[in-house]
Amino acid sequence: MDREARIFVAGHRGLVGSAIKRALEAQGYRQVLVKSRSELDLLDQRAVARFFAQERPEYVFLAAAKVGGIYANATYPADFLYQNVLIQTNVIHAAHRYGAKKLLFLGSSCIYPKLSPQPIREAYLLTGELEPTNEPYALAKIAGIKMCEAYHRQYGSDFLAVMPTNLYGPYDNFDPQTSHVLPALLRKFHEAKVADAAEVVVWGTGTPKREFLYVDDLADACVFLMKTYRHADIGPIVNIGTGTDLAISELAELIKGIVGFRGSIVFDASKPDGTPRKWLDVSRMEQLGWRASTTLAEGIRKTYDWYLAQQSAVRP
C-alpha cells in the first residue's frame, strides 16, 4: 500500500473509523479520503457509486455502521438490519465496480452463535443460533461477510472481513440508552462520582464474560492486514482481540477504581445479560505476527481522560 495510494475510510467520525484515520495519517499516508454523512450518504446507492467513480479509491476501510448496545438493538431492530445492509451493500459493490484493489470490512463478534464453544474460532460462524438481543445487527454483518466472500469467489476481489471483539476508546458512544457496556459504565460511574451518589446500578447479573479491545489497537491491526495480507492468504474472515476476557462484575470494579467512585455497585438481575461469554480465538492473527499492545486498565484510563476532555470542552 503505497504512501500516495488513495484510501477511503468510510465512517471516519465513528469509534473505529476515526482510529483507522489516525493510524493511517501517523504512518504517513497522505491521501486519506473521508466524507461526512452530509457530504456522502452511504444509504444512497447512486451517491456512493458517484463518489467511487469520481475518487477511484484504491483501498477501502468499511467502518461505517449503525451500532449500539442491548437497549438500542432491542428498540430499533429494523433500523439496525436495514441501514447496515444498505451501507455495506452499496460500498462493497461500488468497490468492486470501480476497481478498488482491496477492501477491509469491519464485522463484529456478535456474528457468532450465542452458545459457541470458547474461545470462538472463525470456523464457528453459522454453526448455531444467534443471540436474540442483537440478531438483526448480526445478520446484517453476516451478509457483509458473505458479500466479501462471494465477490472474491466470483470476481477475485481482494475483500477481507475482520471480526473485532468488544471495542472502546476515544470517540465512543457514551449515551446511556444506546451505548455498549464499557462506555455506558464509564459514564455511569463518572456521573455518580460527580453527584456523590451512594450506588451505581449495572444491568444484568454481572456474570457474563466479555473481551475488550482498545480501538487504536484494532486500527493498527486493520492497517497491518491491509498492507500485508490478501483474502487468498487468510480466508474471508479473521478475529481481532486480546485473547483474554473478564466478567462484567470485574469490569465494573475496574472502572469504579479508575474513575474514583466510592459508592457501591448493585446488579439489576431483572435486566438481560446477553450472550454468556464472548471470547475470541485470536491465534490466526498471532500467527500472522500481530498482537494487541494496550492493557485494559491502560485503555480505560486513556478513554476516561478523553471523555473528561470532551466534558470540559462543552462546559460554558
Residue 27 lies in a domain: yes
Is residue 187 included in any domain, yes or no?
no
Does the structure show a pLDDT above 80 at 178?
no
Please indicate, yes or no, if residue 2 is contained in any of the structural domains: no
166 is in an annotated binding site: yes
Kindly state whether residue 41 falls inside one of the protein's structural domains. Answer: yes
Q: Is the pTM of this model over 0.85?
A: yes
> The cell 469509534 sits on which residue?
15
Angstrom CA distances, 272 to 19, 113, 114, 132, stand at 30, 17, 14, 11
Count of structural domains within the chain:
1
Q: What residues are labeled active site?
A: 137
Residues above pLDDT 70, as percent of the chain = 99
Domain ranges, residue 54:
7-172+211-244+278-294
The reply to whether 16 falls in a domain is yes
Is 16 among the annotated ligand-binding positions?
Answer: yes
In this structure, are residues 73 and 110 in contact, taking their beta carbons and an 8 Å threshold? no
CATH number (domain holding residue 287): 3.40.50.720
- pLDDT tens track for 79-131: 999 999 999 999 999 999 999 999 999 999 989 998 999 999 999 999 999 98
Is there a binding annotation on residue 108? yes
CA 269, CA 203: separation in Å to the nearest integer?
A: 7
The answer to whether residue 181 sits within a structural domain is: no
- Residue 17 CA neighbour count, 13 Å, CB half: 22
Residue 315's pLDDT band, with cuts at 50, 70 and 90, is low
**Do the domain assignments include residue 226?**
yes
Give CA–CA dist 290/228, Å, rounded: 11
241 is in an annotated binding site: no
88 within some domain: yes
